[in-house]
Amino acid sequence: MKVLVLSSQASNTGSTLRAFYIYKHLKKYADADYIAPPFKSMPFMLDFLFSLFYYFFMVLNRKYDAVIIVKPYPNTVLPALVLKAGGAKLIIDIDDMDYGYRAGFLSQVIKTLQDNMTEKADYLTSHNQALIKLIEKTHPRFKGKIYMLKQCVDLSLYKKTPPSLKISREIRSVYKGKKILFYTAHLNIASYLDDILAAVSAVKENYVLIVGGGGPMLDYYKKSAAKMGLSDKTIFTGQLKQEEIVPYILASDLCLVYYRNEPVNLHRASMKLREYLSLGANVAANAVGEIKDFKSVVHLSGASYKAFAAKLKNVLKTKLVNNAGGQKYIKSRYDWYVEAKKLSEWINNLQEAV
């Protein structure tokens, strides 16, 4: 079985990480290829336009049994139709309600594009039950036929190693005497860092907030931190490689997960939440969408940023120890190695059913 994995979004996004993890672990069970996105996020979504031509060129003279695309956008789906014409099954992974992050005309454009591209698929996958129900409502022909492809963790990467522990100790020494809060994200309109900054500003403990990640709104959030008087308490690392994130998680007293209580966030699955927990980190999170399912292994607040702020203040007053329960929870449920094997079997069954 020969499979191609593509991501519609830019190289520095969470959905592209999902695509790469699918490829990385699927290739242990199948003959899998991956064409990496050629660009980082660009203003006005120009990376989508430019990558369209790139993907058309890259798929020429190739043949696959299946193509998995993360996010239904024309820049990947249209080139993949060339492969579909050659016999490949087109599988589209819908990992977000993308149009919900925008408003007005642009929101409608994204929704229309994605609805049209979704209908080109032979099969769909998704990682969130609420999102699956929404997809089935919008695309009735897929009702009962959407494969649940969990959002998992690459446990070969998110683990304690001598080098990562050494770096984590160095980080702690830099901020000795301070509580270390850590938040990682692709800093765009879906990161809600303004609300997180407002929440941590109420913390009375001696702390530092380390923001791990880059993105199109990095400079905006730096200015926001300055306006709130938090410049001396907020450290922006810029873009980090996945292996560079691990020491920060290990060094942290508390990792943060926060989403606004809006429809779009009821239909997502948090990668950062799973990654934090996989390393035994203590996590403060607000009760929005699927995060409520993790209530036994996180410090869960109400949905609002005020409730989140109150939870932060209370948690940081307590003595925090390694979250072994959270680590066990992730390893038993969200391992990409295990999930990719199930995905491989599902795709094989699709081929055999033809």
Residue 353: pLDDT over 70: no
- Model confidence at 190: pLDDT above 80: yes
**Domain harbouring 10, CATH code:** 3.40.50.2000
Q: Mean per-residue pLDDT for 299-313? A: 96
Do 29 and 68 lie in a common domain?
yes
- Nearest CA among 288, 292, 266, 289 for reference residue 97: 266
What's the rounded Cα separation, in Å, for the pair 70 and 93?
Answer: 5
At 279 the pLDDT is 98
Look at residues 308, 21, 320, 267 and name the one whose alpha carbon lies nearest to residue 131: 267
Q: Provide the greatest CA pair distance for the chain.
A: 63
Q: What is the per-residue pLDDT across 139-150, written as a single tens digit (0 to 9) for each?
A: 999 998 999 999
Do 224 and 94 reside in the same domain of the chain?
Answer: no
pLDDT in tens, 309-320: 999 999 999 989
Q: Are residues 217 and 299 in the same domain?
A: yes
Model pTM above 0.85: yes
Q: The domain containing residue 101 runs over which residues?
A: 2-152+335-353
Nearest by Cα to 305 from 328, 322, 288:
288
**Domains in the chain: how many in total?**
2
Q: Tell whether 94 and 51 lie within a shared domain.
A: yes
User: What average pLDDT does the structure give for the chain?
Assistant: 95
Per-residue pLDDT of 238-274, as tens digits, reads 999 989 999 999 999 999 999 999 999 999 999 999 9
On whether residue 75 sits in a domain, the answer given is yes
212/240 Cα distance (integer angstroms): 7
Do 38 and 108 belong together in one domain?
yes
Q: What confidence tens digit (pLDDT) does each residue in 29-88 have?
A: 999 999 999 998 888 788 899 999 999 999 999 999 999 999 999 999 999 999 999 999
Helices of type H across 215-304: 218-227, 242-251, 271-278
The rounded distance, in Å, linking the Cα atoms of 311 and 203 is: 10
E strands, 149-290, in order = 179-184, 207-212, 234-238, 254-257, 283-286
